[in-house]
Amino acid sequence: MRVSSGWSAAALAAAALAALAVEGCARSSSNESYASRLLAERAAKDAAFRTSADSPIPPDRRAEFLPLAYFPPDETYVAPASLAPIEPALALTVEMPTSTGTRRLMRRVGMLQFMLKGQSLRLTAFVEANESGTQPLFVPFTDLTTGTETYAAGRYLELEPTPTGIYTIDFNRAFNPFCHYNPAYDCPFPPAENRLQLPIRAGERVKAPPKQP
C-alpha cells in the first residue's frame, strides 16, 4: 500500500512548472492572463503525470485519465479568505478516515472564512499531526457536484502558510486525491464540517463516460 495524502500534485509537477512559477493562487489583473496561466499549469501537470517515475497514475491507465479533466477557468471561484484560529476545545488531533480503511491523524489549524457566489462559507484547514515544520494547509472538501460531475470521495485544496492569516482560495486549483487514479494510495476523506452546500464547478472534474454506440 502506498501511503500518501494524495495532495502533493503541485510538488510532483514542480519541475515542469518552474518556468511558469507565479505567486500561488493570486488573482491576475487580466482574465486572459489568468486563464492562460492556469491552462499552462494544467498542461504541465499532465506532462508530469505522463512521464514522471513518481506519477500517481499507473502506466496502463494513463490513456484513460490523461489529459486530466477540468472545468473551464472561472475567476468567480476565486475568493479572499481569512484564517480564524480554532477554539482550543476543537484544536485537537482528529482521526480522518481514508480510502484504504485506515485513519490519518490530522490537526485542525483554523477555519477559512470567505464569500463565494453571494454566500458566506467556511472550510477547516488541517495539517498532518505527526509532521514537524511548516506544512501546506490541507483543505479537503465536498460540494453539490461530488459524486456526479466530480470525484465521489471529494477534492482537495493545498495552501501555502502565510504570516498574515489572509489566503486566496482558488477552486480552479481544486484537484482529485491520487486514489482516484490508483487505489494503492491512502487518501483522507473530507470531514462533515467541509461539506459545501453549493456546486463548485471549478477545478478538476471526472471524465464523462464514453458514449455508447
3-59 pLDDT tens trace = 455 545 444 444 344 333 333 334 444 566 999 999 999 999 999 999 999 999 999
What sign for the dihedral angle of Cα 78, 84, 90, 94?
positive
What confidence tier does 136 reach under pLDDT thresholds 50, 70, 90? very high
Q: What's the predicted TM-score (pTM) here?
A: 0.85
75-103 pLDDT tens trace = 999 999 999 987 766 667 889 999 999 99
In order of 52, 55, 64, 98, the CA distances from 49 in angstroms are 6, 5, 12, 23
